């Protein structure tokens, strides 16, 4: 290890807050220095989050894949006239929610395409229906894009939408639709999505209203390391101010069925080195986050396991039903049995523990 890297990693362990330039340098390491960064991140994880590998028993319910947007990285959404459009009505949503309750989930997660006919009331109805069919189950739903869309469709402010969603039982909001919080990248990959400043504003509004959220990044398409660093810095700044993020979830770009990849604009996803470094560098840079999740849906279980020894402390959810990554071409995304999670955790010498959405022990 070179002396500069050794000193920097030692400093981080002693509480030094990484600058954006230092973060950029860590993203650029290659060869065996990747293990040095990962090892330090693992040590910081041990100190900040303890030994347990946590997971949540959850189920996804995606109401529809019809969407007015056409994000270039999305292999899930459909336009009117496309084949394979689905829309779940109240009866179907409640059937799924009832089944989720019978499966013993503690969380139901719902995000969907931006249906042309949706209003704020549509989201609120869905939340009520889920609670009616699965009382007591935590509802993790929506994201800043859905909130902005609901507000626009109904002539409300985003704050009014959030208040109404909370009133309908929204327990926490997904920090998705973040992708890369750099407008020039957003312009290329999802120009119809809300810009960075609006994403940040809605997240802060949610936190102010007592709605915790997750934080995500979608990387491995056409962003640079500088963009990744800026994104992480924005999340760290929000967390300093609001303390409302429950976890950080790196989402590795699934490229296969996406317009961006087919058009030759995006590369074929992140490499293994990049996946590992995203977890490790996030653990070191996001010094105000306790929980770093590694997504078995996006990375596959073997890469996710390596993330657990590179700074991550959480394996995400059992899922039971997943269609967004599957739409983009990922395989085996439907369900991960906690027994398999246990095998994977114990294989790296750590206990597996079930948690709630908000990281309370079960």
Applying CB under 6 A, which residues contact ligand SF4?
67, 69-71, 74, 76-77, 113-114, 145, 190
Give the CA dihedral 331, 335, 340, 345, nearest 10 degrees. Answer: 90
Pick 145 or 312: Cβ nearer ligand SF4: 145
> From the CB of 330, what's the least distance to ligand SF4, in Å?
14
Hunting for tokens 């650029």 — which residue is that?
28
Pick 113 or 316: Cβ nearer ligand SF4: 113
User: Which secondary-structure segment (H or E) carries 53?
Assistant: strand 53-56
Q: 170 phi and psi, to 5 degrees?
A: -65, 120
> From the CB of 38, what's the least distance to ligand SF4, in Å?
30
Pick 317 or 327: Cβ nearer ligand SF4: 327
**Chain Cα centroid distance, residue 337:** 20
Pick 74 or 173: Cβ nearer ligand SF4: 74
**Residue 37 token pair:** 């960064």
> From the CB of 96, what's the least distance to ligand SF4, in Å?
19
> From the CB of 69, what's the least distance to ligand SF4, in Å?
4
> From the CB of 202, what's the least distance to ligand SF4, in Å?
14
Pick 134 or 165: Cβ nearer ligand SF4: 165
Return d(Cα 121, Cα 255) in angstroms, integer: 34
**CA-closest candidate to residue 280, choices 2, 4, 43:** 43
Pick 291 or 333: Cβ nearer ligand SF4: 333
Return d(Cα 268, Cα 132) in angstroms, integer: 42
**CA-closest candidate to residue 53, choices 347, 275, 358, 288:** 347
> From the CB of 193, what's the least distance to ligand SF4, in Å?
6
- CB-CB contact of 255 with 221 (8 Å): yes
């Amino acid at each position: 290890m070179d002396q500069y890297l050794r000193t920097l990693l030692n400093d981080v362990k002693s509480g030094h807050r990484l600058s954006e330039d230092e973060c950029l340098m860590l993203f650029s390491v290659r060869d065996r220095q990747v293990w040095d960064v990962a090892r330090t991140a693992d040590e910081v994880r041990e100190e900040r989050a303890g030994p347990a590998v946590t997971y949540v028993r959850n189920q996804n319910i995606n109401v529809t894949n019809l969407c007015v947007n056409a994000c270039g990285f999305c292999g899930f959404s459909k336009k009117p006239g496309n084949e394979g459009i689905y829309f779940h009505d109240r009866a179907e949503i409640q059937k799924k929610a009832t089944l989720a309750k019978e499966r013993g989930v503690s969380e139901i997660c719902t995000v969907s395409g931006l249906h042309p006919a949706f209003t704020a009331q549509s989201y609120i109805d869905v939340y009520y229906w889920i609670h009616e069919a699965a009382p007591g189950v935590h509802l993790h739903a929506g994201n800043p894009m859905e909130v902005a869309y609901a507000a626009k469709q109904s002539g409300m402010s985003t704050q009014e939408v959030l208040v109404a969603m909370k009133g309908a039982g929204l327990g926490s909001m997904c920090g998705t639709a973040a992708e890369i919080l750099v407008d020039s990248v957003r312009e290329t990959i999802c120009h119809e999505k809300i810009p960075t400043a609006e994403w940040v504003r809605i997240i802060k509004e949610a936190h102010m209203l007592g709605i915790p959220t997750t934080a995500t990044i979608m990387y491995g398409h056409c962003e640079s390391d500088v963009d990744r660093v800026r994104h992480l810095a924005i999340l760290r700044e929000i967390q300093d101010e609001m303390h409302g993020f429950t976890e950080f979830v790196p989402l590795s770009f699934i490229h296969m069925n996406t317009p961006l990849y087919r058009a030759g604009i995006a590369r074929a996803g992140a490499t293994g080195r990049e996946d590992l470094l995203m977890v490790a560098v996030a653990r070191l840079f996001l010094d105000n986050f306790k929980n770093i999740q590694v997504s078995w849906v996006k990375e596959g279980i073997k890469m996710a396991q390596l993330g657990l020894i590179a700074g991550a402390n959480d394996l995400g959810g059992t899922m039971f039903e997943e269609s967004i990554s599957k739409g983009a071409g990922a395989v085996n995304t439907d369900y991960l049995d906690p027994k398999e999670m246990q095998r994977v955790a114990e294989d790296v010498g750590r206990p597996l523990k079930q948690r709630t959405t908000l990281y309370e022990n079960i």
